[in-house]
Amino acid sequence: MPNSPYAEEVKTVQRAIACLKMEPDASLSKELEEKQLAAGTNLEWYGITKSVFERFLYSRELSNQTRSALRDGVDAVRVIFTSPNLN
């Protein structure tokens, strides 16, 4: 989606996923990927990703860098979901 109105938000989510993959606990990225498989559309994929990010923020030990990236990812998905381009 490089020309989309929310290309930067997509990049932010991708950066958060990359940070998650760098965590010592490999089960985190595996769990995210398993949950994402349930998505039937791109919007569902972002919604699932946001939910998993939020759960990890409240329940898992994460590096400060990953914690910050996940917060940014949650905010980015919120922007995508509230975009007037979706209506």
Domain spans, the chain: 27-81
- Which of 32, 36, 35 shows the shortest CA–CA distance to 45? 36
* Mean pLDDT of all residues belonging to the chain: 92
Cβ atoms of 36 and 45 closer than 8 Å: yes
Enclosing H/E stretch for 23: none
pLDDT grade, residue 21 (50/70/90)? very high
Exposed / middle / buried, residue 69 (Cβ in 10 Å: 0-12, 13-18, 19+)? buried
At 83 the pLDDT is: 75
pTM: 0.90
At 2 the pLDDT is: 54
- Per-residue DSSP letters for 47-63? HHHHHHHHHHHHHS---
For 51, other C-beta atoms within 10 Å of its C-beta total 13
At 39 the pLDDT is: 95
Amino acid type, 56: F
